[in-house]
Each structure stands twice: as structure tokens, then as C-alpha cells.
A and B are shown apart, each in its own frame.
Chain A
Amino acid sequence: MNFSALLNAMPGAVAQGLIWGIMAIGVYITYKVLDLADLTVDGSMATGGAVCVMLMLNGVNVWLALLCAMLAGMLAGLLTGVFHTAMGIPPILAGILTQLSLYSINLAIMDFKANQGINVTKYALIVSQRNVRTAGLNNPILTALLILALLIGILYWFFGTELGSALRATGANEAMSRAQGINTNMAKILGLMISNSIVALSSALLSHYQGFVDVNMGRGAIVIGLAAVIISEVIFGKLFRNFALKLTGVALGAVIYYIVIQVVLWLGLNTNLLKLLSALIVAVFLGIPYWKAHFSARYAGKGGRGHA
């Protein structure tokens, strides 16, 4: 096997991992902080790119387009939040409903085409695959790192405020939060909006990076996000206690995920089987805490079989 081919692919894997790391931070906010598994992200991971690319193709400034992409992600989160809190739909189903409606919405945004290209020579893209091996300021790895640092800084500040603490409390103990006067429904909606705006930001950057937006680019995003969260817990869980470090760990988790994927592809796995592999890996890691509890309870002689 050609080892230099693998090395050559590494900068691309790192850049992609960092961009998906932004997305994984969005997943962390719903899955870990709010304790909701939000499947909206499979849709909003295409919405952000669709909005950003279409606006830019129509002559809108890149930063304004990026902002609009984030607002679109917020609306997606709002819809899921309303499905869940105002209509009593379980969060997973609420997310699936939004995700499905986003498929149509994303197509509508993209003039009913399955994909739309945007050329880096004609448009001022923030990150581009073309520069992934250049040593200049336009290297997407550098840009993605800067955006991540800014994002983690803002989130670290926000979750330390009264409002951010209320969100964390809602995820930690809903009954207690309501008893302390927190409107837990509003907290959940706000959390979903923040999360999906971050996912949409990642989506917009990913479409810049690859030079096109595709209506299917978000498929399985939740699994990649969860993989990043789980990888970071397994590797950095004991090391990173501080909230900002945990978010950093999640971004690193996504980078590790993409490096592993790159290695597996290099070893000769059919690209079409990647999603199967990702799903199985995430399933195994999600199962570990259950197995741990199950077996430790049995060894402790407490008959843990039934209630592990």
C-alpha cells in the first residue's frame, strides 16, 4: 500500500474534520447539554449551505450570506422546538418531521435542483478544498480553527450566563428547573435554535469547502455528530472537565473521526459502505455504558439482568 497517498489525504481529512467539528458542537448542545437527541441536523446540515450558496450566487456578500444561513438553521430549530413543546411530539420524532420537511425546503431554496455549484475563482469563499495544502492564510484548516476558537469562546461565555445556566439546568433536571422558575419549554426551543444555527454554519462552510451544496449532504449528520461526541468522551473524558475544553474535545473528536475514515478508505473499504461502518461504530460506543452497568450489576450479585 502507498503510505504517501494516505499522508497526502491527511490535510483534507483534518480540514473536513474541523468543519464537521463545528457541526458536532451543535449536536453536543442538544445531545449532552439539553439531553435531547435532535435529528433536525440531518436537514439543517444542508439548509445552511443551500441558503449561503444561493444567496452568494445572487450577489449577496459572503458574511451576510453566512449570517442568513445561521438564521435559517435557527428557524429549523424553532420548528422542531414548537413540534416538541407546543404539540407534545417526542423530540426524536419532532426532529424527524422537521428533517423531512427541510428536504423539500432545501430543494426549494436550491431552485429545485439536487445540487448547486459555487466556484472559488469567481466567489469569495471562506474556505476551499483547493487551498488545503497551501501554506498561506487562505488555508481552510487555519480558517476553520479560527472560527472554532471564536465559536467555543462565545459558547463558553453564553453557558456561563444566567440564561445559559437555565439551559444547562433544563437538560440536567427539568422538574427542578421548573420549580426554580425556569420556563423549560422556552429553554429547549432556544437550545434547539442555537444548536441548529451552529449546524447551519458548519453546513455553509462545508459547501464552501467542497465548492457545491448537495441536498443530501446532511444525510447521517447526526451519526457523525454523535460519533465525534462519543470519541471525545472516550479519549478526553477524564482529561477535559472545563466546558470550553469539552467543546474543543468534540471538535477534535470529529477530526479523529475523519482521519479514521480516511485510513479505512486507504485500506480499501468501498466508499458506499462508510455509513454502515459509522452507524455500527456509534452503536457499539452508545452500548458501552449499558453493558458496563449490566455486567457490573451482575458481578455485584444484585441480579442486574432485568434492570441494568
Chain B
Amino acid sequence: MLDLKNLKKTFNPKTVNEKVALDGLNLHLEDNDFVTVIGGNGAGKSTMLNAIAGVWPIDQGSIVIDGTDVSHLPEHRRAPLLGRVFQDPMTGTAATMQIEENLALAARRGDKRTLKAGITRAERAQYRDLLATLGLGLEDRMTAKVGLLSGGQRQALTLLMATLKKPRLLLLDEHTAALDPRTAEKVLQLSEKIVTENRLMTLMVTHNMRDAIRYGNRLIMMNDGKVILDIAGEEKKRLTVENLMTAFFKASGEEFANDRALLS
């Protein structure tokens, strides 16, 4: 379970660049929820995910994951509960380290890092099998530096890393936005497969309305740092891009201001 209560965050307070990014955000997720998140530019989608992950401290409110109040924990101490994939394929992996080393780092998320071997023979075998399930041929390049991989390969690897140790909550932050349409499609399907197989509670931010409708069991729309629309179950299955646009207009009184969402 995830509980966000009255989250507030203002960037550059008391300056000309002041920006209220989260304005009393409330959200509750059940254990099996796979929630897609849409909204215009600056609606607070990524800010919400970063607040949960603890990238910076929040101004107000509380974040509770499975009964643990993480509101004031530093980022690395929340990491055991979270799996994260970022918009920029460069962010989720260490480019100068090998594929297997990256996986080994992720396998120890939440554990104390000791003077034991950084990667064992048994792990290598396990990673080989795991990489083979991606169908990208990475199982034969386990000692290659991650910097040599394409964006799509890196995002697939980051997905594996995020879920190698089962997280309580998976945060996907526009993780296909930097990929070409075909690769994006593949990574999305892989994401859905991993989420379903591991029954992961998931928040997936996307700029693509069609993807938001197609994936997950619940869809929320954000505007001005709040959730303005929350659609689940049968109602979500009947959604179309057109009635999402209408709903957005009704809820916010504004046109949907995101060219990428409209064009894709």
C-alpha cells in the first residue's frame, strides 16, 4: 500500500522562479494497483515520483509505503522499498561498469555492502538466465560496459535492476519517452510482463494517452500538483483519448497543454 497525504513542494520559494510543484497531493494505492499517470507539462507527475523516492525533502505531508513512514528518510534508505526507472536511459545504469556489475549492484539494494565478493559465480549464472528472457542477446555480453548499449537496451536492463530485488513499489518515470516508437513499445510490454508476473504495485508516468489507457488497471490525471481525475476498473477499459481530453477540460477548466501527448 502507498499513502500520499497532503504532499506539498515548492521549488525556488520566494524568488521570481517560484513554482508550486505539488499542492496538497493525496493518493492511495492498493497492493495490486498498476496506475498510469498523465498530465500536462509541469503538472507534477515526475515531481510526485521524485518526492516518493526522496530525491529532495518535501515541504509538507506524509509518504507511507506499506506502513513505513518514509517522509523524512534519505533517498538511499528508501531505496530498499522502491524500484525506479528514469526517463533518461543514462540515469538508471552505471555506463563505465559491466552489465553483470550493474545487476550485482542492484541485487544488493537495501543490504549492507560488506567486504564479500561484489559478484559471485552463482549470481553470474542467474543473471545470464535473466538477461536471456529479454531476448536482446545481452546474456552473451555480460562483461561489456553498459555505456556500449543502446537506449532501449539500457532501459530494459534498468527494468531488470529495478525488479531484481522485488520492490514494494515500482516507479516508472516516462521511461520510454527517450526511445523510438518500436523500442518504446517493446520496453512497455516488458514492463507490463514484469509487473504482472511479480504482482508489483506500480506508478507509471507517461506522456502518451494511448499507453496510459492501454496499460494498468487505473489511470490518474494530474494538474497543478494535484490529482484531478482518477479512473479505475471497467470504466478505465472503456476510455478513449477523446473522452480523456473532455474529462481533462471539465476537471481543470483548461485545454490539455501537452503537445507530445496530443501528437503521439
> Do the beta carbons of B113 and A163 come within 8 Å of each other?
yes
CA distance A181 to B106 in the complex (A): 8
> Do the beta carbons of B79 and A166 come within 8 Å of each other?
no
Question: Of B105, B114, B118, B119, which contacts A180 at CB under 8 A?
Answer: B105
Given the known A-B contacts A160-B118, A163-B113, are A169 and B105 also in contact in the complex, defined by CB atoms under 8 Å? Answer: yes
> Do the beta carbons of B92 and A179 come within 8 Å of each other?
yes
For the A-B complex, the count of residue pairs with Cβ-Cβ distances under 8 Å equals 84
Residue-wise, chain B 86-97 has the 8 Å CB interface mask toward A (1 for contact) of 100011111111
Residue-wise, chain B 58-86 has the 8 Å CB interface mask toward A (1 for contact) of 00000000000000001111011010101
> Do the beta carbons of B79 and A168 come within 8 Å of each other?
no
Given the known A-B contacts A180-B79, A181-B109, are A172 and B95 also in contact in the complex, defined by CB atoms under 8 Å? Answer: yes
Contacts of A172 in B (CB 8 A): 94-97
CA distance A177 to B117 in the complex (A): 18
Residue-wise, chain A 164-178 has the 8 Å CB interface mask toward B (1 for contact) of 111011001101111
Contacts of A162 in B (CB 8 A): 108, 111, 113-118
Question: Of B77, B95, B104, B116, which contacts A173 at CB under 8 A?
Answer: B95
Contacts of B74 in A (CB 8 A): 183
Sorting the interface of chain A by its residue count into under 10, 10 to 19, 20 to 34 or 35 or more gives 20 to 34
A182 at the interface (CB under 8 A from B): yes
> Do the beta carbons of B113 and A180 come within 8 Å of each other?
no
A184 at the interface (CB under 8 A from B): yes
A8 at the interface (CB under 8 A from B): no
> Do the beta carbons of B79 and A178 come within 8 Å of each other?
yes
> Do the beta carbons of B117 and A173 come within 8 Å of each other?
no
> Do the beta carbons of A169 and B84 come within 8 Å of each other?
no
A134 at the interface (CB under 8 A from B): no
CA distance A158 to B115 in the complex (A): 7
> Do the beta carbons of A161 and B76 come within 8 Å of each other?
no
Shortest distance from the beta carbon of A206 to any chain B beta carbon, whole Å: 30
Question: Of B76, B95, B105, B115, which contacts A183 at CB under 8 A?
Answer: B76
Q: Identify the closest chain B residue to A35 (Cβ).
A: B96
> Do the beta carbons of B104 and A165 come within 8 Å of each other?
yes
Question: Of A158, A173, A178, which contacts B94 at CB under 8 A?
Answer: A173
Name the interface residues of A203-235: CB closer than 8 Å to any CB of B. none
Question: Of B82, B90, B96, B118, which contacts A165 at CB under 8 A?
Answer: B118
> Do the beta carbons of B76 and A184 come within 8 Å of each other?
yes
Contacts of A182 in B (CB 8 A): 76, 79, 105, 113
> Do the beta carbons of B84 and A166 come within 8 Å of each other?
no
Sorting the interface of chain B by its residue count into under 10, 10 to 19, 20 to 34 or 35 or more gives 20 to 34
Given the known A-B contacts A172-B96, A180-B105, A180-B106, are A160 and B117 also in contact in the complex, defined by CB atoms under 8 Å? Answer: yes
Contacts of B77 in A (CB 8 A): 181
Interface centre among B101, B111, B118, B161 (most CB of A within 10 A): B118
B159 at the interface (CB under 8 A from A): no
Shortest distance from the beta carbon of A186 to any chain B beta carbon, whole Å: 9
Shortest distance from the beta carbon of B152 to any chain A beta carbon, whole Å: 18
CA distance A175 to B114 in the complex (A): 21
CA distance A145 to B115 in the complex (A): 26
B110 at the interface (CB under 8 A from A): yes
> Do the beta carbons of B115 and A169 come within 8 Å of each other?
no
Q: Identify the closest chain A residue to B75 (Cβ).
A: A178
Question: Of A161, A175, A178, A183, which contacts B118 at CB under 8 A?
Answer: A161
Question: Of B96, B113, B117, B161, which contacts A166 at CB under 8 A?
Answer: B113
Given the known A-B contacts A180-B79, A180-B105, are A173 and B113 also in contact in the complex, defined by CB atoms under 8 Å? Answer: no
B205 at the interface (CB under 8 A from A): no
Interface centre among B79, B80, B82 (most CB of A within 10 A): B79
Contacts of A165 in B (CB 8 A): 97, 101, 104-105, 113, 118-119
> Do the beta carbons of B114 and A161 come within 8 Å of each other?
yes
CA distance A183 to B114 in the complex (A): 13
Given the known A-B contacts A162-B108, A181-B110, are A175 and B91 also in contact in the complex, defined by CB atoms under 8 Å? Answer: yes
CA distance A208 to B53 in the complex (A): 51
CA distance A162 to B94 in the complex (A): 15
CA distance A191 to B7 in the complex (A): 36
CA distance A164 to B104 in the complex (A): 12
Contacts of A166 in B (CB 8 A): 105, 113
Name the interface residues of B132-166: CB closer than 8 Å to any CB of A. 161
Q: Identify the closest chain A residue to B171 (Cβ).
A: A179
Q: Identify the closest chain B residue to A175 (Cβ).
A: B91
Contacts of A180 in B (CB 8 A): 79, 105-106, 108-109, 161
29 contacts between A and B (CB under 8 A): A161-B118, A162-B108, A162-B113, A162-B114, A162-B115, A162-B117, A162-B118, A164-B118, A165-B101, A172-B97, A173-B91, A175-B86, A176-B91, A176-B92, A176-B93, A177-B94, A178-B75, A178-B76, A178-B79, A179-B75, A179-B84, A180-B79, A180-B108, A181-B76, A181-B79, A181-B110, A181-B111, A183-B76, A184-B76
Chain A interface residues (CB < 8 Å from chain B): 158, 160-166, 168-169, 172-173, 175-184
In the A-B complex, list the 7 residue pairs whose CB atoms are closest, starting with the nearest.
A181-B79, A172-B94, A165-B118, A162-B113, A181-B109, A173-B94, A178-B75
